[in-house]
Amino acid sequence: MFNKKKNKFLEFLFESAFRLSGSVTTIIILLISIFLFTEGWGLFQSSTVEKGYILCINKENKIKNLTPHQVKDIFDGNITSWKELGGDDIPIETLRMDDVAGLYTEQELGPNFEYLPEKLSEAVSSRVGALGFFPEQFINYKFKGKVLPSITISLKDYFGGKEWFPTATPSAQFGLLPLLLGTLWVSLGAILLALPFGMAVAIYLAELASPRVRKILKPLIELLAGIPSVVYGFFGLIIIVPLIRDLFQLPVGETALAGSIVLAIMALPTIITVAEDALRTTPIAMKESSLALGATHWQTVFRVVIPYASSGILAAIILGIGRAIGETMAVLMVTGNAAVIPHTLAEPVRTIPATIAAELGEASAGSVQYQALFMLGAILFVLTLGISIFAEIIRKEPHLD
């Protein structure tokens, strides 16, 4: 009687401990997710203009606001007239502090630059097409120009933007498109490379290898998953990158193809292990029935075993994609880290995880770049979560049609 009560108490104790552990883990993950999205959403309320600076125009100018991309095009010389932005047909004249200093003598600016605010006002008010980029501290109530409202990035600019240039002045550029396409491009290439090799090895282990060979190979394959990603990165940088450069006669070998090959090697253990386990779940009676009806071994594999394990195989592919999308260091080392929209696998790219790893250490807390990187983390979280949920949905009890 005493032992029975003791066992029940221990069962209750263990159940409570497991329940508490699960609850705490769930709450922590939920809080991390909320923090991630809260920090990232601040991007759409923050100004992309360099902190402590303002943009100003002549009071007669009809323009009311500018987008980050328009500001960059103006200062890059791609937009030269206000007419292109919906204003009058007047040439745009950009003014920075150095430009204003060249317009006036030292005596006019004052020994201690005490007349600088007045000269900034005069420079803008006397030029109808002026666009000034000045420190906010030199703009006072006597300023005769028109200060433009804070330039914030919209959802359209962020998700449809084609440039990622967080250090651009006067206005930083945060376009997600090149990073998202780079991530998907590299991940797709990795899966296309890893899938045939992974499936071939999985079929060999499940259907052809002897028990002795399987006991040796499977632990070795699973061991590959424990190798640090930076080791794969070094391997890719020393072996794969020069090989791609010489084989395709490219200026540099750090390309999306190099990232795809490295990620394919890293995804192989996941694909092989999950697919092989799925293949081995096929009941022996079904395979024996197929053989008894006159089918060959390969016909049984392709027409009975693989269809029966199709959900598990698809789950292996999805999990392999998830591994490829979330990889950081190896990709950062071999893809060239160029935030441009890729058109072929032979071009340098930059992925979302690599961007976070490369820039987060340099971004000051609370800055617009800091918030943009948190938003990248939120997007990566949604991508991997969606892939994981999809894998769980399709990983159901196998059946034959």
Asked if residue 189 lies in contact with residue 258, where contact means CB atoms within 8 angstroms, the answer is no
Q: Is pLDDT at 377 greater than 70 in this prediction?
A: yes
**Closest to 181 in 3D by CA, of 383, 320, 36:** 383
Mean pLDDT of 296-301: 86
pLDDT exceeding 70 applies to what percent of the chain? 96
pLDDT at res. 1: 58
Per DSSP bridges, beta strands 93-95 and 130-135 are: parallel
Q: Where are the beta strands (DSSP E) in 130-263?
A: 130-135, 146-147, 164-165, 173-174
116-146 pLDDT, tens digit each? 899 999 999 999 999 999 999 988 888 899 9
Q: What is the pTM of this model?
A: 0.84
What are the structural domain ranges in the chain?
Answer: 53-153, 177-394
Mean pLDDT of 323-336: 84
Asked if residue 59 lies in contact with residue 146, where contact means CB atoms within 8 angstroms, the answer is yes
User: 377 CB contacts (<8 Å, ≥6 apart)?
Assistant: 36, 40, 356
Mean pLDDT of 34-58: 89
- Classify 18 as helix, strand or coil: helix
Q: CATH top-level class for 177-394?
A: mainly alpha
pLDDT at res. 349: 93
Neighbours of 339 (CB within 10 A): 22
Q: How far is 257 from 266, CA to CA, in rounded Å?
A: 14
Q: What is the CATH number of domain 53-153?
A: 3.40.190.10
Q: How far is 342 from 350, CA to CA, in rounded Å?
A: 9
Mean pLDDT of 308-315: 84
Q: How far is 175 from 178, CA to CA, in rounded Å?
A: 7
Instruction: Give the pLDDT band (50/70/90) at residue 394.
Output: low
